[in-house]
């Protein structure tokens, strides 16, 4: 179609009628249709809602888009592109990207936002467009490498994929045949996908999933999980009247871009923003109220607000009555009282009475009047209160999980749950598609992942792995690190180096990574995997009140397929021999079990071609055709297959306005041979319905095997929440029964950096905050991002700095309980006095080893060569060469104008596993002093013997399942777990029963 | 006013809603996405600021003025306050609310009738079905409404403050071409299709690119002939406003005057160019 422009100019200026119409009659007809439609409860005309994205290249032109080459300016040089969608991989938000693939060269020229991505809506942060830096990084790994000398020695040789695959497959097959299934471990940093890897591990029959969760979000997850059976918040920021963030969520964090744009929409509509953060973050600068509390006191503030709501009758009494498990609480904790709501309210009024504003002020250092003003605003939100906490305080403090639990208490009091502007359990906003691969989960339990001391941990105690190996709890034969860099990311990195260089503890370490990192230096194989435009994944995350699914794809592969080529392997279109994990896993699985005799291979055979290898087209074609409601119909409407639709658009919204799933009435068809407990939990023998969303935790069946199907509320069976009671668990029967009755209610646990627990001269160090434009471990190769942010000075308040005689730029020595590092000071009023902060993002390094061959690592962009020495347990990084520009074909590398790339601080941090959530409690008690004459910028020193000592101190806080398990099992079966071993594996082994953590 | 709401939908991206409304309105067909994109994303941008702003571009002071109107009513301005759909919806809503009649009149006069008649006339001239029919219906509906509205005779602020077309002899060619592409300066709407037609009429080559580039390249080839062609093109404006003289007299007069002035200016320039270089006069038959 073209707009007329040549010789077919129509008349039409005189309003000569092109239709003969009576306007009044027409208006009456439209009005009648509108009335009839609205009488049916439907929307006739939704209002102007689709006018905002007109500035994106219209999708009808994505196959052949013409624009001028910006680099050719002022010449007008046209370039023709195919616009191919994919999904950003530089944080977990999974924002949509459009790759501009040059039609002449078939190279990606740039990345912009994808307007068809429902979560990000075409908008991206700096990290999305910077994908082009990663793709064109001159230092990236292009070929499979195998170490040529001792592990960590820095010598590498190029190997073929076949050599690597055969060697690794043989190791794994030997371990499986030898029933050493707990020796295969896959350790994932940024997952960025919906469970493909878990399926592989399940198919192999290994309980080998190890995630980074315990250095990230276990604390917050625990707080939410015990309340509602879902372990993440999904706030509906866009429709909130009050937004309460315990984080710097506007600029960083999970889903921050999709959330930030909706927070700003709410702000534009008059919403108030309350931010608790020790630092004046970018988020805090937008706040109506910025509270900078003493680290760890956030829960006390939440409880003071809760108490205010309770004492002023400001809570939603009907919501509490219907949905809290108050009756279970009364029966358990107040058996002498009548189990009525009136009694509960009477008790509730006393439970938090001690949490006055004055108490919270004393704990937090914020005056009571300010706290009261915040509480009044929260109270005024009604059900339109959206709250969020993910890392921050929950990840910083011992007992930090109660920060999330007390934060949710505010939503639960106000009834701001699954309503517009409120808090939704995350799974309801997340598509959980069926896939063609459905292996049974393993019959084994890996003690190295979830040991008995941590029965309630929100996922694997992965950051303790070096200590578990050092204690002889097991060994690892084959260890995959995948987009994960524990040496640099985790606390106590020197202990990781000790573990990874000991081939008795780790038989073979395979680093699956697109770029060099501190952990890959200590690998046996480094296998190059693609960036976001070079790999397949599906993603779906909770970002607004809706459900959507996104597709990550190798864009050059997709472009060449559009041009009619047949591509059977992503390596055919990726740079060098860079691969993607999913094809790698399929191929590796076939080599582990080439004849199917282990019963593994058949899981990765094509659904419609038994005996033939599954391809990624088979896999995703099946998922999109069978696992995503509505997608086949939407695709058919455009004459596309579901896979073609997703390859073309990159995203699909399954539904919008999910609403109150807990209130849904369970239909009769789902109720068969029903049993109802005294507390109203409803069990049924009817199979669970298939739903598009993630149902969350898995409440146990009743004693006769019926599944938990709903909960009786005022005589009606409703779906409820995926908790043991089916209700919101104000009182957690799980915490009470599994050894922590004192924390069964939302409460305040004093942090390990509470003033009472600090030694003289110690101050808290906040180490968890991110820089908005950096990627955890893959940012060092993104030149645009590095120009924006490249160092991590120590934030210190002027009053504090004066006491220590420190000025901006001075070198300071930060002493933790097990080491120290030397960094520059930044004196700023943007932090609470008496607290210091340092971002973890910076200080990337490479051991200054003798290297060999063209494939030896030589990252130059944001990495320093260092000496890595140790004398027994005393380790040191030092002797850093000044950062310098590299000499490559990339002219930008010669334009690097900065030399300071920050200091790696995490290696000086001992592990602090929270005894309940398992979260590493990141905040450190440190001493700050001016650097001495022997100190040099970037020095990092730690004592691993002292690290082990502190590990044991924290381990002694645990209450082992062997002592507290009420069921004889290792862990409450209903709690979420990435892999769910078969039930018999949950039983505590006889030889472990009664063993305490001190014994182990 | 339901009719206006229904018509407003058609300046939005086609959605399933369109089919039902098409049927009700009696339009000949439902637009597809490609037709929509070609018209609204590439030819006739449905934003008041493009036609009322001094730069002829999206946003800027013109959009701020529209946003200010929403603020004056105590509402938060929508993300794109000057989009045609938003304006029509807001107008329909105000018109339904009797106490807001004055506000409805103001919106109609200041931000709708100040540019939309010209815009709809160009849609009728250039767009494929069903958009000419839609534009016709919308124009008739607004005209009928305007007849019942209050006094619309005063000149709107956008037009009172509009700059005049630059003189290339004084201000340079860049400023002149920028003005030619800003309807409120030139007194006419020049679409990419218009420029292609100019090239065809003048039998000169057309360079593919955005309008400024195309116009510049046409001037480079045959300035005098092009200036005369553009002078003649002002009739599109004069014709477009003629039916509105009774309901929006001052606005009609303003646009007609602006177009007439531009025509004279362009013809003067053409003479000047021809005098300076007679070889540039005679492109075309």
Answer with the one of A421, A449, A470 that is the final residue of a domain: A421
Contact B83 A51 (CB under 8 A): yes
Residues B113 and B175 in one domain: no
Sheet holding A385-388, edge to edge: A289-291, A272-276, A242-245, A385-388
Phi, psi of A920 (to 5 degrees): -70, 125
Contact A3 B193 (CB under 8 A): yes
Task: Give the residues across from A244 on adjacent strands.
Answer: A274, A387
Residues B105 and B244 in one domain: no
The answer as to whether A679 is a domain residue is yes
Residues B39 and B129 in one domain: yes
Residues A709 and A825 in one domain: no
> What is the predicted pLDDT for the residue at A9?
41
Q: What is the mean pLDDT of chain A?
A: 92
Residues B131 and B83 in one domain: yes
Residues B121 and B23 in one domain: yes
The answer as to whether A176 is a domain residue is no
Mean pLDDT score, A96-112:
96
User: Is residue A594 pLDDT above 90, yes or no?
Assistant: yes
User: Is residue A277 pLDDT above 50, yes or no?
Assistant: yes
**A599, A442 Cβ separation under 8 angstroms:** no
Mean pLDDT score, A444-467:
97
Residues B31 and B135 in one domain: yes
pLDDT digits (tens, 9 = 90+) for A807-848: 999 999 999 999 999 999 999 999 999 999 999 888 999 887
Mean pLDDT score, A489-506:
97
Nearest-angstrom CA–CA distance, A396 and A750: 12
Residues A863 and A796 in one domain: yes
Residues B73 and B182 in one domain: no
**B74, B100 Cβ separation under 8 angstroms:** no
Residues A730 and A799 in one domain: no
The answer as to whether A248 is a domain residue is yes
The answer as to whether A847 is a domain residue is yes
Helix (H, G, I), strand (E, B) or coil at A155: strand
B residues 122-141 near A, CB within 8 Å?
A: 124-128, 132-133, 135-137, 139-141
Residues A823 and A853 in one domain: yes
Nearest-angstrom CA–CA distance, B278 and B280: 5
Nearest-angstrom CA–CA distance, B119 and A905: 62
> What is the predicted pLDDT for the residue at A37?
81
The answer as to whether A720 is a domain residue is yes
> What is the predicted pLDDT for the residue at A903?
95
Answer with the one of B136, B157, B178 that is the final residue of a domain: B157
pLDDT digits (tens, 9 = 90+) for B45-57: 999 999 999 999 9
Pairing status of strand A675-676 against strand A605-606: unpaired
Please indicate if any CB of chain A lies within 8 Å of the CB of B82.
no
Confidence of residue B99 (pLDDT cuts 50, 70, 90): confident
Nearest-angstrom CA–CA distance, A9 and A11: 7
Which residue did the predictor score with more confidence, A846 or A68?
A846
User: Is residue A53 pLDDT above 60, yes or no?
Assistant: no
Please indicate if any CB of chain B lies within 8 Å of the CB of A80.
no
Contact B1 A27 (CB under 8 A): yes
Mean pLDDT score, A348-361:
98
Residues A732 and A768 in one domain: no
Confidence of residue A66 (pLDDT cuts 50, 70, 90): confident
The CA distances from residue B234 to A14, B134, B200, B211, B229, in Å, are: 15, 24, 18, 17, 9
B residues 242-261 near A, CB within 8 Å?
A: 242-243
Residues B16 and B153 in one domain: yes
How many domains does the structure of chain A reveal? 3
DSSP A511-536: EEESS--TTGGG-SEEEEB--TTS--
Please indicate if any CB of chain A lies within 8 Å of the CB of B208.
yes
- A318: CATH: 3.40.228.10
Residues B85 and B210 in one domain: no
The answer as to whether B247 is a domain residue is yes
Nearest CA in chain A to B4: A27
Give B110's DSSP letter. I
Identity of the residue in A15, A34, A78 whose CB atom sits nearest the CB atom of B208: A78
Phi, psi of A425 (to 5 degrees): -60, 135
Answer with the one of B141, B157, B173 that is the final residue of a domain: B157
The answer as to whether A127 is a domain residue is no
User: Is residue A45 pLDDT above 80, yes or no?
Assistant: no
Nearest-angstrom CA–CA distance, A920 and A916: 11
- B60: CATH: 1.10.3480.10
Nearest-angstrom CA–CA distance, A786 and A795: 20
> What is the predicted pLDDT for the residue at B183?
98
Confidence of residue A997 (pLDDT cuts 50, 70, 90): very low
Name every residue whose Cβ is closer than 8 Å to that of residue A361 and which is 6 or more positions away in sequence: A367, A368, A371
Mean pLDDT score, A452-458:
97
Contact B34 A21 (CB under 8 A): no
Residues A735 and A876 in one domain: no
Please indicate if any CB of chain A lies within 8 Å of the CB of B50.
no
DSSP A47-109: -S-S-TTTTSPPGGGTTSEEEE-GGGTTS--EEEEEEEEEE--SSTT--EEEEEEETTT--EE
The answer as to whether B76 is a domain residue is yes
B232: which 2 tokens?
Answer: 């003649």
User: Is residue A1 pLDDT above 50, yes or no?
Assistant: no
The answer as to whether B101 is a domain residue is yes
Q: Work out the percent of chain A whose per-residue pLDDT is above 70.
A: 94
Q: Domain span at residue A306?
A: 237-421
The answer as to whether B226 is a domain residue is yes
User: Is residue A732 pLDDT above 80, yes or no?
Assistant: yes
Pairing status of strand A145-147 against strand A156-158: antiparallel
> What is the predicted pLDDT for the residue at A12?
43
Please indicate if any CB of chain A lies within 8 Å of the CB of B78.
yes
B residues 156-195 near A, CB within 8 Å?
A: 191-194
Please indicate if any CB of chain B lies within 8 Å of the CB of A898.
no
Contact A21 B26 (CB under 8 A): yes
Mean pLDDT score, A383-411:
97
Residues A889 and A773 in one domain: yes
Contact B2 A6 (CB under 8 A): no
Residues B28 and B68 in one domain: yes
Residues A707 and A775 in one domain: no
Q: Which of B81, A767, B262 is nearest to B254 (CA)?
A: B262
* Residue length of chain B: 285
pLDDT digits (tens, 9 = 90+) for A899-931: 889 999 999 999 999 999 999 999 999 999 999
User: What crossing angle do the helices spanning A368-380 and A298-311 adopt, rounded to 10°?
Assistant: 60
User: Is residue A971 pLDDT above 50, yes or no?
Assistant: yes
Residues B130 and B170 in one domain: no
Answer with the one of A356, A388, A421 that is the final residue of a domain: A421
Mean pLDDT score, A133-141:
90
Answer with the one of A406, A421, A436 that is the final residue of a domain: A421
Confidence of residue A886 (pLDDT cuts 50, 70, 90): low
The answer as to whether A828 is a domain residue is yes
Residues A863 and A720 in one domain: no
Residues B12 and B133 in one domain: yes
> What is the predicted pLDDT for the residue at A22?
87
Secondary element (H or E) of residue A875 = strand A874-878
Region for residue A450 given its phi and psi (left: phi exceeds 0; alpha: psi -120 to 50; beta: otherwise)? beta
Nearest CA in chain B to A77: B209
DSSP A337-361: S---HHHHHHHHHHHTTT--HHHHH
Confidence of residue A50 (pLDDT cuts 50, 70, 90): low
The answer as to whether B138 is a domain residue is yes
Contact A2 B140 (CB under 8 A): no
The answer as to whether B285 is a domain residue is no
- A929: CATH: 2.40.40.20
Answer with the one of B140, B157, B174 that is the final residue of a domain: B157
Residues A796 and A827 in one domain: yes
Chain B closest-CA separation from residue A118 CA (Å): 16
Residues A771 and A698 in one domain: no
Mean pLDDT score, B156-170:
93
Q: Which of A768, A750, A812 is nearest to A278 (CA)?
A: A768
**A448, A473 Cβ separation under 8 angstroms:** yes
Q: Domain span at residue B82?
A: 2-157
User: What crossing angle do the helices spanning B131-148 and B116-126 adopt, rounded to 10°?
Assistant: 160
Chain A closest-CA separation from residue B240 CA (Å): 5
Residues A695 and A801 in one domain: no
User: Is residue B77 pLDDT above 70, yes or no?
Assistant: yes
Choice among A119-133, B10-24, B44-58, B158-172 with the minimum mean pLDDT: B10-24
How many domains does the structure of chain B reveal? 2
Q: Work out the percent of chain A whose per-residue pLDDT is above 90.
A: 80
Mean pLDDT score, B218-230:
95
Name every residue whose Cβ is closer than 8 Å to that of residue A339 and which is 6 or more positions away in sequence: A327, A330, A331
Q: Which of A277, A299, A300, A297 is nearest to A287 (CA)?
A: A277
The answer as to whether A331 is a domain residue is yes
């Amino acid at each position: 179609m073209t707009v007329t422009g040549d010789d077919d100019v129509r008349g039409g200026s005189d309003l000569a009628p092109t239709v003969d119409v009576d306007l009044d009659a027409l208006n009456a007809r439209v009005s009648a249709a509108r009335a009839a439609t609205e009488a049916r409860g439907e929307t006739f005309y939704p209002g102007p809602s689709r006018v905002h994205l007109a500035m994106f290249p219209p999708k009808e032109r994505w196959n052949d888009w013409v624009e001028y080459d910006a680099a050719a300016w002022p010449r007008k040089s046209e370039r023709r592109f195919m616009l191919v969608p994919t999904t950003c991989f530089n944080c977990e938000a999974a924002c949509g990207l459009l790759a501009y693939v040059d039609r002449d060269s078939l190279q990606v020229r740039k990345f912009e936002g994808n307007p068809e991505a429902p979560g990000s809506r075409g908008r991206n942060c700096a990290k999305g467009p910077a994908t082009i830096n990663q793709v064109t990084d001159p230092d990236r790994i292009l070929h499979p490498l195998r170490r040529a000398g001792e592990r960590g020695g820095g010598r590498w040789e190029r190997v073929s994929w076949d050599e690597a695959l055969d060697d690794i497959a043989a190791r794994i097959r030997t371990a499986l045949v030898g029933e050493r299934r707990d020796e295969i471990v896959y350790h994932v940093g940024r997952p960025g996908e919906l469970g493909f890897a878990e399926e592989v591990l399940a198919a192999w029959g290994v309980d080998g999933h190890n995630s980074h969760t315990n250095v990230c979000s276990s604390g917050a997850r625990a707080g939410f999980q015990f309340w509602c059976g879902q372990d993440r918040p999904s706030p509906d920021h866009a429709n909130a009247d009050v937004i309460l963030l315990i984080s710097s969520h506007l600029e960083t964090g999970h889903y921050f871009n999709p959330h930030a744009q909706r927070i700003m929409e709410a702000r534009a509509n008059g919403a108030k923003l309350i931010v608790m953060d020790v630092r004046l973050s970018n988020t805090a600068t937008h706040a109506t109220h910025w509270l900078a509390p003493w680290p760890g006191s956030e829960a006390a503030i939440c409880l003071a607000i809760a108490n205010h709501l309770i004492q002023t009758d400001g809570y939603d009494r009907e919501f509490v009555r219907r949905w809290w498990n108050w009756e279970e609480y009364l029966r358990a904790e107040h058996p002498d009282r009548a189990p009525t709501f009136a009694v509960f309210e009477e008790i509730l009024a006393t439970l938090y009475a001690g949490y006055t504003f004055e108490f919270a002020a004393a704990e937090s250092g914020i005056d009571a009047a300010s706290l009261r003003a915040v509480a009044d605003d929260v109270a005024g939100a009604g059900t339109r209160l959206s709250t969020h906490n993910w890392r921050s305080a929950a990840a910083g403090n011992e007992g930090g999980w109660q920060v999330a639990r007390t934060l949710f208490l505010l939503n639960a009091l106000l009834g701001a749950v699954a309503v517009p502007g409120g808090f939704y359990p995350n799974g309801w906003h997340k598509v959980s598609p069926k896939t063609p691969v459905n292996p049974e989960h393993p019959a084994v339990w890996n003690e190295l992942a979830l040991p008995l001391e941590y029965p309630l941990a929100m996922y694997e105690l992965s950051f303790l792995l070096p200590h578990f190996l050092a204690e002889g709890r097991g060994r690892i034969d084959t260890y995959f690190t995948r987009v994960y860099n524990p040496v640099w990311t985790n606390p106590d990195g020197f202990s990781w180096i000790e573990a990874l260089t000991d081939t008795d503890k780790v038989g073979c370490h395979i680093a699956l990574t697109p770029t060099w990192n501190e952990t890959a230096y200590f690998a046996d194989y480094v296998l190059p995997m693609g960036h976001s435009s070079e790999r397949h994944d599906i993603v779906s995350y909770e970002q607004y009140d809706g459900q959507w699914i996104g597709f990550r794809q190798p864009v050059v592969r997709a472009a060449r397929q559009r041009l009619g080529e047949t591509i059977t392997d992503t390596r055919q279109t990726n740079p060098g021999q860079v691969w993607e994990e999913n094809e790698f896993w399929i191929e590796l699985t076939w080599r582990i079990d080439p004849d199917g005799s282990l019963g593994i291979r058949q899981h990765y055979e094509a659904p419609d071609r038994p005996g033939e290898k599954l391809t990624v087209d088979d896999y995703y074609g099946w998922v999109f055709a069978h696992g995503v409601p509505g997608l086949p119909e939407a695709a058919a409407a455009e004459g596309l297959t579901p896979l073609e639709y997703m390859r073309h658009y990159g995203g699909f919204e399954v539904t919008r306005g999910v609403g109150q799933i807990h209130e849904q009435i369970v239909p009769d068809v789902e109720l068969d041979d029903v049993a109802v407990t005294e507390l109203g939990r409803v069990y049924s023998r009817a199979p669970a319905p298939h739903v598009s969303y993630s149902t969350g935790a898995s409440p146990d069946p009743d004693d006769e095997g019926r599944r938990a199907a709903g909960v009786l509320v005022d005589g009606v069976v409703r779906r409820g929440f995926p908790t043991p009671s089916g209700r919101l668990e104000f009182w957690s029967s799980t915490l009470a029964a599994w050894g922590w009755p004192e924390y069964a209610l939302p409460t305040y646990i004093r942090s390990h950096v509470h003033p009472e627990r600090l030694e003289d001269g110690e101050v808290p160090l906040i180490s968890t905050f991110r820089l908005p434009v950096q990627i955890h471990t893959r940012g060092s190769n993104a030149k645009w991002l590095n120009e924006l942010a490249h160092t991590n000075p120590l934030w210190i308040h002027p009053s504090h700095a004066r006491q220590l005689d420190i000025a901006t730029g001075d070198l300071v020595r930060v002493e933790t309980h097990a080491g120290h590092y030397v960094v520059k000071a930044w004196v700023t009023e943007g932090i609470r006095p008496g607290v210091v902060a340092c971002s973890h993002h910076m200080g990337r390094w490479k051991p200054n080893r003798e290297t060999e061959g063209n494939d030896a690592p030589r990252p130059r962009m944001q990495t320093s060569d260092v000496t890595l020495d140790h004398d027994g347990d005393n380790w040191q990084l030092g002797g850093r060469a000044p950062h310098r520009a590299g000499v490559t074909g990339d002219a930008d590398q010669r334009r690097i104008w900065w030399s300071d790339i920050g200091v790696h601080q995490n290696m000086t941090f001992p592990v602090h596993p929270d005894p309940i959530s398992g979260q590493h409690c990141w905040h450190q008690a440190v001493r700050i002093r001016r650097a001495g004459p022997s100190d040099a910028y970037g020095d990092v020193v730690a004592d691993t013997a002292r690290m082990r000592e502190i590990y044991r101190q924290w381990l002694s806080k645990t209450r082992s399942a062997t002592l507290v398990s009420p069921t004889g099992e290792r862990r409450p079966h209903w709690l979420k777990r990435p892999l769910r071993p078969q039930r018999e594996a949950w039983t505590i082994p006889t030889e472990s029963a009664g063993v305490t953590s001190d014994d182990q | 006013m339901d009719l206006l709401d229904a018509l407003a939908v058609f300046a939005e991206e086609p959605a399933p809603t369109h089919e039902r409304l098409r049927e009700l309105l009696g339009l000949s067909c439902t637009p597809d996405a490609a037709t929509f994109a070609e018209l609204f994303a590439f030819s006739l941008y449905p934003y008041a600021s493009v036609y009322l702003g001094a730069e002829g571009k999206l946003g800027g002071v013109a959009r701020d003025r529209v946003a200010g109107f929403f603020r004056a009513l105590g509402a938060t301005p929508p993300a794109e306050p000057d989009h045609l759909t938003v304006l029509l919806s807001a107008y329909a809503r105000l018109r339904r609310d009797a106490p807001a009649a004055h506000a409805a009149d103001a919106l109609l006069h200041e931000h709708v009738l100040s540019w939309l008649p010209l815009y709809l006339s160009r849609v009728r001239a250039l767009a494929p079905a069903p958009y000419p029919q839609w534009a016709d219906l919308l124009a008739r509906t607004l005209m009928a409404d305007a007849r019942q509205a209050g006094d619309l005779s005063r000149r709107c602020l956008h037009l009172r403050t509009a700059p005049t077309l630059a003189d290339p002899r004084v201000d340079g060619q860049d400023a002149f071409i920028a003005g030619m592409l800003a309807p409120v300066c030139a007194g006419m709407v020049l679409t990419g299709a218009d420029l292609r037609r100019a090239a065809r009429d003048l039998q000169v080559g057309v360079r593919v690119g955005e309008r400024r580039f195309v116009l510049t390249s046409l001037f480079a080839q045959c300035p005098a002939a092009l200036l005369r062609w553009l002078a003649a093109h002002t009739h599109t404006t004069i014709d477009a406003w003629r039916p509105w003289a009774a309901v929006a007299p001052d606005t009609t007069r303003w646009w007609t005057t602006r177009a007439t002035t531009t025509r004279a200016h362009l013809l003067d320039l053409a003479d000047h160019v021809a005098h300076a270089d007679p070889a540039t006069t005679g492109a075309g038959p």
